[in-house]
Chain A
């Protein structure tokens, strides 16, 4: 057999049936559900008198609407409460395992899947959420789906898919101190654009990717969708296997050994063909800060806000002008002169224990600037929160003036009470800087946890590498 990519292997091992035009019925191993994109799918099942095909494939959690403050009295917003209650009721009716709001295992769906070992190498993983690409960090084929497909997976355990083209993003060399997986992700998006990955499945490889922890690999794969690629993935290795070992849903005993032997084959073969190869030198990547309303509108911390007058493409120029007007920024402003009002450390991109440790290391012994209206740390799950508290990270953040919250999506998309007011500017570790994403009229700058922490201390963006030295 000719050399295969990781994507080819994952695809091929899940094909149930192929139509003459290549449309394939692909088997889905793991289906994660949350409250926002599932109610209409359950309703569809009910209307058609259908039942879930394989109950054990499903795992549900409410994350988008949940409050990050005290939860003893439930959810204050009646519309949010109805959506969360609807998930509870649907899971109960259909017999689906759910971690409810006050369960310590509750958290952001893309944090808890891996944390529980529900995401395993070699699996197909889907969820009605575009950031499902996160799970590709485990050498899994993982991508977001719409609500019709949520219903389709519930009813049939399959999806109708066309095979994607393959892109290899190879990041060789070694990342500098204070430069993270988030900076790799933003640098890649800056290079290929938010449409650069349309129609592709991206495999991230190279020495700098191999050196990343699972948390870092999840951050990187999480942002594949911001590059337009539904799926991002990283080959399995010791780092992957060590992370999975002992997790509640992971295999044990003889099956563990059998699984590990299979997982070790989950990499692209030498000489495998990719439709596109993009190469970056890790050593050349600097801390990144987005300046506009699309993740591709990104600069390095030592750079300036770009000048639309220098852009020759009229559609792009118009987009830049609109973005600068929305963001309240002048062309040619040095990035490190941009002041921020709020800081958000959290989201499925950057809310895992390693992210919190890295931000705490910057914050330790310092205090947020007096101009900062709110600095939030929202752990990705109840278990991340618990671990962080055991390590004393909550004290470090609180002593520095941060608020320490309950887990959920929070200000990444502001479906709960955590949001920006019109005109407010935020250093955010989330994944999207679209207009209104963090609250109508809010202005989002995407950064790494370290850079967000540094901005909280300085009151403006600043090169975290100087704080670390």
Chain B
């Protein structure tokens, strides 16, 4: 996993609530047995005018000019600004894989679906919760200024606008630590292998049927 420290990135606005994981990466692309290559199919049904299937050459497919991420001014965006309950629906990690592969390293919204939120941290994407009024303000500023960028500082837990306004955000200290250092948490957990074994030994006594 790549480290996340400070990100100075172009912002793309996706002004919808309840964007679900089926919309982020439609089911036909979940048949892949790999982790990479989902970026060209992120938001496939909104982004292209034809129907996408695995194996197509996405570079020649007709783009939907009405879909916001297709606008020239948002090309190369690394920060996605969106509305409440982003990432609802399925637990498919293909959703953060697709967003990461597309180029997003941070997502700002008033709220996120739980499983998606968790999956982001496992892939070096920082999901940031700001309150609805702050998100509204950012939507207005993005619309008003082409090339609008934000600076996200994970260590300081701040989002800074071009005019210098600073929003603070919360992040669990353990997740922050893992993200700042790009740590694989399986390795961290296995440092507690003795505790896991001791726990199992206790449960084998009290609830042996669990271990059959």
Contacts and interface: CB of A to CB of B under 8 A. Distances in A.
Interface of A: 16-17, 19-23, 25, 27, 29, 36-37, 39-40, 43, 48, 50, 53-54, 56, 64-65, 79-80, 82-83, 86, 120, 122-123, 128-130, 132, 143-149, 151-152, 155-158, 160, 162, 194-195, 198-199, 225, 228-230, 249-251, 255-256, 258-259, 262, 294, 296, 315-316, 318-319, 322, 413-415, 432, 434-437, 440
27 contacts: A16-B196, A17-B192, A25-B189, A27-B200, A36-B30, A36-B92, A40-B93, A65-B31, A79-B32, A79-B54, A123-B210, A128-B93, A129-B90, A130-B89, A130-B91, A144-B91, A146-B115, A146-B119, A146-B122, A155-B190, A156-B193, A195-B18, A198-B85, A258-B209, A259-B207, A436-B23, A436-B45
A37 B25 CA distance: 14
Nearest to B18: A294
A23 B174 contact: yes
A56 B212 contact: yes
Nearest to A148: B122
Contacts of B122: 146, 148-149
B189 A259 contact: no
A198 B207 contact: no
Given A40-B35, A145-B91, A158-B189, A230 B20 contact: no
B83 to A, nearest CB: 6
A156 B189 contact: yes
Contacts of B32: 79
A435 B26 CA distance: 10
B155 interface: no
Nearest to B16: A319
B84 A195 contact: yes
A434 B22 contact: yes
Interface string B82-126: 011100111111001000000000000001111100110011000
Contacts of A199: 114
Given A130-B91, A194-B88, A437-B22, A16 B195 contact: yes
Interface residues of B, number: 61
Nearest to B175: A23
A146 B92 contact: yes
B203 interface: yes
Contact of A79 (B31, B173, B209): B31
Interface string B188-212: 0110110110011001001111111
A25 B196 contact: yes
Given A194-B88, A228-B88, A316-B17, A152 B31 contact: no
Given A17-B192, A434-B23, A198 B113 contact: yes
B172 A195 contact: no
Given A128-B91, A436-B26, 13 more contacts: A27-B200, A36-B92, A130-B91, A130-B115, A146-B93, A146-B118, A149-B119, A152-B185, A157-B200, A195-B18, A198-B112, A415-B28, A415-B31
B91 A251 contact: no
